[in-house]
A and B are shown apart, each in its own frame.
Chain A
Amino acid sequence: MMFFKAMIIEMTNLEEEYDSLIESQRWLEENKDLFSDIALVLFPQNNLYSKIQNQAGIDAEVFINKIGEINNRVREVFSKLAVRHSAYISPGMVLEYCNKNFYRTGWLFNSRGELVLKQRQIFLSKDERRFNLARGNEILLEDTELGKIGFMLGTDCYYPEVGRFLALEGADIILAPSSIKGNLWKQLAGVWSQVQQNQFIALEAAGSGQSLIHAPCEISPFKTGIISPVDEEYGGQIEKPAAYLQRLKKRKRIVGQMEIIEGAVEMEKLRWIRKNYPLKRYLNSRLYHKSGRESLLPGRVSDD
């Protein structure tokens, strides 16, 4: 597929565990015309579990059962949405319980309502480690008519090896739900930076930041690396990025309780940039092997 439209939906004012799902369903039903030509939709990392997570002293078995209930509900809602709108839809991340471990897992449904991709977060934040979440250690991609789709979840965006291995495995489109806190420069150091050094498209649903659809600079408006949103009045290329992102906040389209970012993704342009600036080709694998795996692992800084 040469061209498709993608959308990121930001849900505002979420508090109760099921309200967000009910609200999503209702909103999507009311605004189904918005989706008439959208092929890929991403929801952000959600707060579906906050109510049960905040219950002190909750029994482990009860907790696990509640997670299962919530996840079944998510599956039901989003599976139907995907079929209704003939689109690939990701509810962002769910909390998965498997083999006595909890994972943060990205889900993707195809237009037949099938759950076709489940990707576990690979690197955890300090809080996630404190909650004893387990890590995924595999990169999975779904080969679709849009391109190969993969996930970059939460703090994975700050580990460049995740983007690199996604790219080397053939990823074309990355779904990146997160709720990372920090300023806009910190946000740019994540998914934007990964997109530039790996030449893929990314939908970043940044709960606390600015949701963006990314692409390599050369194939984006004003060479910013951001397909959507866009400030058409952007006058030059020397404005500092954080200032531009701040202006983009006003460019979100607000429909009811949702803010949406919508953009056209031209896969032919992606193929063009990869062919003309083949970054993967110039990786120096002899150097990396000679240096050894240990030298490439994060956080092995020698301060001696």
Chain B
Amino acid sequence: MTELDNIKNWLFLKYLYWQGRPSRIKKYLNKNTLAEKRKTSVSNKGKVKVGAVQLEMKVYQKVMDFVDKMNEITAQAAAEGVDLLVFPEYNLLQLIGLLPGISDKVKNETESIDDLLNGVGEGVKITEILCYIGPVIQEISSTIFSQLAEKYNLSIMAGSGMLPAEENKIYNIAYLFGADGRFIGKQKKVHLMPVEEEWGLKTGEELNVYSTSLASVALPVCMDATYFETFRILSNKGAEIIMIPVANPEPEYNYWTAMRGIWGRVQESKVYGIKSTMIGSFFNYKFTGQAGIYAPLELTLDQSGILSEAESWNREEIVTAELDLKALKECRKKTDLDDNLEFWERYFPQVYYYI
């Protein structure tokens, strides 16, 4: 790469940062207030209203178009009295459209990511592109969701994106913002899908629980809900609400396969679970829903473990439910659980050296 190329790249990134500068976004949102600021809902009654977003994947060439969409959804949630709003996996990846030429390619369902990379150049890896654009996406999306959270006075889990951390390694990371706009924390995906491993993503090695004014919450990502260990560790660390952003590449929706993750984990761990879903297509990947909010069986009217679910698996919706934290605490106290330390001592750690 020549010195001129380096300068062009630097200028281009500067341009993108300028497009997504905080003052510009704030000004835009002030002009486009779609709902009243929520009255502060304190969880001294022990109840939290949550919203799970089912969102159609789009790739945005302009920052303000993305802001528009996120504003529309957040405003709708605020109008419904939602305290905590959860966006899906790859929500932040939608900003990859800021790179010239990407948007048209993404819309072409016959085109694969490998086709894109081959078109860019020989040996180019997806992680290189993500390392390049990732810091811009991180900064812009942080600004957007921080301002939306403060504007409408609700906590937002912004969904996740494939973003760089630590020496340009790419992780699938979810972000959480408080109702005052403050960044609360993040969570790297700790169990990858095979295709993410092929792309070169890394796994996180920590599971975090954040104590907020609403509840103790956690935000592992998608595939993490396939493994009971995720929810067991988080619930033992005190998590009451576990948010799972999902982008499920299942071309034909199936209720049973969709049920396999969070629903089962909620029953095992006695927590509330919120599943937000990405739908639509991204290159030749097709994502299907269904967003939902789940609870231990005994806390649901029909003993199904389902508080609320999207009506469809392929349309945009916001699913809401009120979570009663006191009831959860009572449920946990009443849950009969046995202990067998000898069993665990016999099998841990050697059984987890399987790999």
Interfacial residues, chain A to chain B (CB-CB below 8 A): 122-126, 129, 135-139, 155, 158-161, 164-165, 168-169, 182-183, 185-186, 189, 193, 196-197, 217-218, 222-225, 237-242, 277-291, 293-304
Contact = CB atoms under 8 A, between A and B. Distances in A.
A283 B352 contact: yes
B254 A237 contact: yes
20 contacts: A122-B343, A135-B342, A158-B268, A160-B268, A164-B229, A165-B347, A168-B351, A168-B352, A185-B305, A193-B268, A237-B252, A241-B256, A282-B197, A282-B227, A287-B206, A289-B349, A293-B348, A296-B233, A296-B236, A297-B341
Given A283-B355, A291-B233, A295-B236, A217 B256 contact: yes
Contacts of A158: 268
Interface stretch (B47-55, B71-79, B162-170, B188-196): B188-196
B270 interface: yes
Contacts of A290: 205-206
Contact of A283 (B254, B257, B260, B354): B354
Nearest to B259: A241
B343 A137 contact: yes
B228 A301 contact: no
Interface of B: 190-194, 197, 203-207, 223, 226-229, 232-233, 235-238, 252-257, 259-260, 264, 267-268, 270, 297, 303-305, 313, 329, 332, 335-349, 351-355
A123 B342 CA distance: 11
B207 A299 contact: no
A298 B344 CA distance: 10
A283 B338 CA distance: 25
A162 to B, nearest CB: 8
A297 B235 CA distance: 11
Contact of A287 (B207, B257, B353): B207
A217 B227 contact: no
Contacts of A278: 194
B257 A223 contact: yes
Contacts of A293: 344-345, 348-349
B229 A237 contact: no
A302 B236 contact: yes
B169 to A, nearest CB: 15
Contact of B344 (A189, A239, A296): A296
A277 B254 CA distance: 17
B166 to A, nearest CB: 15
B352 A223 contact: no
Given A139-B347, A240-B255, A303-B238, A284 B190 contact: yes
A183 B305 CA distance: 11
